Structure 1
Amino acid sequence: MLEQLTLSDNCRLTWLNGGVTHLDGGAMFGVVPKPLWSKKYPPNELNQIELRTDPILLEVDGKNYLIESGIGNGKFSDKAKKNFGITEESRLTESLRTVSLTPADIDGVLMTHMHFDHASGLTDGNGRSIFPNAVIWVQETEWNELQQPNIRSKSTYFEENWWGIAEQTETYAREIKIADGIRLIHTGGHSAGHAVIHIARGGQEVWHLADLLPTHAHKNPLWVMAFDDYPMDSIAQKQRYLNPDSFETAWFTFYHDACYRALKWSEDGKSIQQTIERKRDNE
């Protein structure tokens, strides 16, 4: 059974299986000492933490959108799987089948950024588009860097993740409205073109902060990843979106979190009030 969050009669979020990685906990929490972060998000014996890569199906007004795309299938060598701790590739097609959909039924894909763990599910092992009928939204700075990565970003922007979708891609600068109450908003921070997603439907509010908030343990604005290209921008954006106004009303959704799909914090941000927990395979 797939976890879901229903906002109204015509707006529902469903978490799909996009694969799983295990990355170094120290890198994921940057300068935060291990005795602090490990209490909130325990590592394995290799000091890695489990990070899902699970797209969210957003069904709204009769349209089917994906938030992110998973890590795909057949995109990684055995060495890469070991380096990135990939223990399971995507089962996206199977997940879609459980809600009577196929990749061809996807009308759009909302990409917060194009790092390999978010974008590898857009194409197959030959670089061909997985979602032939979808518009794929990418922030324009992100799209440009994807095609011409710098010495740092070339290790995470893969050529095979963009050339097969170039004709389907639409870019934007600051913000774009996808549907009523659905926006992609440029933030920068994690990458120059990183974006977040805001959903306001049915009197409810959702923030998908992507890799500004990769797990629930990253709520502290100062707890940013060593992977962030512009950490001070990440901190500023977290301060902007993780505040008492949003804590009072909003759900926060996750792509990477191994524990929670979504949650609401208390108004003071000190405790978790509501959750949608990730079900394990044996549950």
Structure 2
Amino acid sequence: MQTLTIGDITLKWLNGGITHLDGGAMFGVVPKPLWSKKYPVNEKNQIPLLTDPIFLQVNGKNILIESGIGFGKLSEKQKRNFGVTEESKLEESLLELGITPGDIDIICMTHLHFDHACGLTKPVNDGFVSVFPNAVIYSSQIEWDEMRNPNIRSKSTYWKENWEAIESQVVTFEKELLIEGVLRMVHTGGHSDGHSIILIESKGEKAIHMADIMPTHAHQNPLWVLAYDDYPMTSIFAKEKWIAQAIEDGAWFIFYHDAVYRALKWDGEGKLIDAVKCER
């Protein structure tokens, strides 16, 4: 299990599954000869994208960032379409830490697309139940509203199977929310209308999880946005602001999807100066 220490906090990456999505969709209008130099791609033009939640403990609370792809929820067709080669082993990862899903107190959801939210529920008999029955689940209000009432475009990624069983656990916020004095969720929009990022600070050290407005290190250029982004110009403006701020602060960039780096730091010129390489 890979880790990164930020002040008094240790981040631990759990096994939440693996997807492989179309490289063209993940890099939008950027030509393949450019992005393929920065990120691996297979013969089907798919790039590997982990869905690995990040675990941390703050003030005696067990916290997750994102929830993974889930286990036993996807049909064979969905697995094929989303390039799922491994489903979540989240419960096994937690057991390595001596923790069960019932011990999770807080879950921070940057957004609720299927590849982030499938791990919140699991199939039981003819329905679904919460995987983390004792957790408070934080999401922006905009994201939660669209999750329950998706439009013609977003209904392909906001599934009732992922929200109906956890409805009573969800707590929403508008612009930003401070959690346990250490984690700050900030609504950015862009990838989805309700998308948020997460800032972590402890003992003067900082980390930023930009989620799907910068899903991998190869999306460092603010103009390299996803075809999946509902509001690409909003993503661009958010990336310009938060990448520059994080570099100025000497913060770690941490990733949920990146199959090359778990975390990294860039200098003022955008050059890599430190990194935790992904070993999965």
Letter in 1 for 2:3: Q
CA drift of 1:105 comes to: 0.8
1:1-283 correspondence runs (5 A): 2-9=1-8, 11-125=9-123, 126-243=127-244, 246-269=247-270, 271-280=271-280
User: Where do 5+ consecutive residues of structure 1 fail to align?
Assistant: none
Partners of 2:173 and 2:70 lie apart in 1 by 25
* RMSD of aligned Cα (Å): 1.0
Checking the alignment, whether the CA contact within 8 Å between 2:5 and 2:11 is kept in structure 1 is yes
The AA in structure 2 aligned to 1:217 is A
Larger displacement relative to structure 2 (97-106 or 47-56): 97-106
Stretches (4+) displaced over 2 A: 244-248
Deviation at 1:72, TM superposition (A): 0.3
Residue identity (%): 58
**Is the CA contact (8 Å cut-off) linking 2:247 and 2:267 kept in structure 1?**
no
3-state DSSP class of the match of 2:155? helix
Conserved in 2, the CA contact under 8 Å of 1:247 and 1:268?
no
Cα drift, residue 150 of structure 1: 0.2
How far did residue 273 of structure 1 move? 0.7
> Residue by residue, what CA displacement relative to the aligned partner does 1:227-276 show, whole Å, maximum 9, x if unpaired?
0000000000000001166255100000000011100011221x111111
> Structure 2, unaligned stretches of length 5 or more?
none
CA distance in 2, matches of 1:117, 1:14: 19
Tell me, yes or no, if the aligned pair for 1:31 and 1:226 is still in contact at 8 Å. Answer: yes
TM-score, normalised with respect to structure 1: 0.96
Q: SS of 2:252's equivalent?
A: strand
Letter in structure 2 aligned against 1:64: N
Q: How many residues align?
A: 277
Q: Is the 8 A contact 1:115 1:157 kept in 2?
A: yes
* Kept in 1: contact 2:7–2:201 (CA 8 A): no
Q: In 2, distance between residues paired with 1:245 and 1:16?
A: 24
Distance verdict in 2 for CA 1:247–1:20, change over 3 Å: farther
Deviation at 1:182, TM superposition (A): 1.1
* 1:44-74 C-alpha deviation (Å, 9 max, x unpaired): 0000000000000021121110000001011
Q: Relative to structure 1, is the Cα distance of residues 122 and 168 closer, same or farther in structure 2, using a 3 angstrom cutoff?
A: same
- Asked if structure 1 preserves the Cα contact closer than 8 Å seen for 2:14 and 2:90, the reply is yes
Could you list the per-position Cα deviations for residues 180-221 of structure 1 after superposition, in whole angstroms to 9, with x for gaps in the alignment? 121100000000000000011121011100001100000000
Alpha carbons of structure 1 residues 275 and 245: separation in structure 2 relative to 1, 3 Å: closer
